[in-house]
Structure 1
Amino acid sequence: MESRININEVEPDAYKAMFALEGYIQKSGLNKRLYELIKIRASQINGCAFCLDMHTRDARKLGESEQRIYVLNAWRETNFFTEEEQAALAITEEITNIQGHVSTETYNKAVSILGDKKTAQVIMAAITINAWNRIAITTHLMPAQA
């Protein structure tokens, strides 16, 4: 792939704004492993290799199992994920695939399981990783080979 602009170099204030969103999520109290699952799932849907590489590594460092990472794209077909994780993954998928809108059923289930505050945190987490995915995909950020 051809090289494209580095937004952090060309428009550092844009990156500062994105990092402010990250800072909010980090301080919000949202479970770090859950946040990594949200980032991985959105990145799978969006096809963002850079973010998938980064966040699967980060999830492993936090103790996430290989098995759960491998089956995350088929989480509904397993019993590996808690009810809270399932609610967060469901709303993350609908936010990521926003053309179909976020259904009332998914939203209400998230609020009933997660509560208002955590639902708001999950919504912001999903929105943030979707923005990062779009930056990485548009600018052709590539993961480093191990």
Structure 2
Amino acid sequence: MTARLNNAQSYAPEAMQAMIALEESFKTSGLEQNLMDLVRLRASQINGCAFCIYMHSTELRHAGEDEMRLYMLNAWRESTLYTPRERAALGWTEALTRLSETGAPDADYDALKAEFSEAEQVKLTFLIGAINTWNRLQAGFRAPHPALRRAAA
């Protein structure tokens, strides 16, 4: 894969500052860090953004996330490894990331409403919108993820 642009964000510094400010707002959103990173990783999987998949899976591993939960994320609906709150967030993530296909179904919203306050619903929706924007920047311009170096045998 060849990058289409190097440091695409540098061409729109005002937009980049706004995205960084939005990301900073999530730190005080009251949403759990682990939940936010699972949402980011799931949206990135759907969007096929290797850069973001690498980044968010690495962050989750460093934060102590169980490896099996990372492996099973693509099949979270068939797994018992996720809490009802995580399941509601992941369902909403999929509904909004695939909005043209799903139309944000009432069932996904009802699950969200059962686990999240109205303020949390809005903050989570902003988070999902933000990761989808990051995915489009990184995947669209083919930003490469860091290469792993294997230890010499």
**Corresponding residue pairs, total:** 146
Alignment-derived partner of residue 83 in structure 2: 82
How far apart are residue 25 of structure 1 and its match? 1.2
Q: Which residue number corresponds to residue 109 of structure 1?
A: 111
Bigger mean CA deviation after superposition, 7-16 or 35-44: 7-16
In the other structure, the counterpart of 1:39 is: 40
Q: Give the equivalent residue in structure 2 for 1:62.
A: 63
Distance 2:80 2:70 in 1: 13
Please state whether the residue corresponding to 2:116 is helix, strand or coil. Answer: helix
AA aligned opposite 2:28: K
Conserved? CA contact 2:3–2:144, under 8 Å = no
- The corresponding residue for 2:11 is 10
How far apart are the structure 1 equivalents of 2:12 and 2:129? Answer: 20
Question: Which residue pairs with 1:73 in the alignment?
Answer: 74
Query: What is the CA-CA distance between 1:104 and the residue it aligns to?
Result: 1.4
Once structures 1 and 2 are overlaid, which stretch shifts more, 47-56 or 18-27?
A: 18-27
Calculate the TM-score normalised by the size of structure 2: 0.91
Specify the SS of the correspondent of 1:2.
coil
Residues 21-65 of structure 1: per-residue CA shift (max 9 Å, x gap): 101112212100000100010001000000000000001111111
Q: How many angstroms does 1:102 deviate by? A: 0.5
Structure 1 gap ranges (5+): none
Higher relative helix content? 1
Q: What is the distance in 2 between the residues matched to 1:80 and 1:2?
A: 37
Counterpart position of 1:125: 127
Give the C-alpha shift of residue 91 in structure 1. 0.3
Structure 1 residue 139, shift from structure 2 partner: 1.1
C-alpha separation between the residues in 2 aligned to 1:66 and 1:28?
26
Structure 2, unpaired ranges of 5+: 149-153
Amino acid at match of 2:8: I
Matched residue SS, 2:143: coil
Q: Quick one: higher RCO (CA 8 Å, sep 6+), 1 or 2?
A: 2
Contact 1:38 1:92 in 2 (8 A): yes
TM (normalized to structure 1)?
0.95
Distance, in Å, in 2 between the alignment partners of 1:72 and 1:138 is 23
The letter of the residue matching 2:60 is A
